[in-house]
Amino acid sequence: MTDLPDSRPDVSPDVRLGPALGAPAIGTAAPDFELLDQHGTPVRLSSFRGHRAVLGVFFPWAFSGICGGELRALRDDLTSFQNDQVALVTISVDSIFTQRTFADAEGFEFPLLADSWPHGEIARRYGVFDETTGVALRGSFIVDTDGILRWSVVHSLGKARDIQLYREAIASTVTRSTSSAEIDAGADAGAGATTSVG
């Protein structure tokens, strides 16, 4: 299947997210949501708490050139973004039927969530819904295992994200917090230990 080029206007400049966009602030609770994936299975953000961090990737349109390229890059290095430490979810305003067709055509085995009704509600909660075009901007978020937003970036409709940004963000937020938790757990175990000399 041939990708259609993204011919929509580049409606907003590249920005790092902050309160001015209505996005949740780094270090605050990420807005919870439940959306259907391409198979009609509900996926709830809070279901990952205590288990894995989440890389959430909003994209404007299924079957568009830039979106297809971004999602294929994730597919081609999926173990970096979907593993024991982190889960990948992607979100657009497309219907579950469009998401299923897109996933099947491209071999996407990660969740493509449908933010179709109420139209763009989750994108609005994350401050990435573009009211002019009616789609999500290219917003990406990392939510830790406690449900706290740890990292975010948003690009305009016409600018693809480099997945190296995700690798670096995961390394600096997810991997670091996991290592700290393991150190804390080891310290707790050691604190309760007693030594007996006979």
Catalytic residue ranges: 67
C-alpha distances in angstroms, 109 versus 58, 68, 114, 134, 141?
A: 16, 14, 15, 26, 20
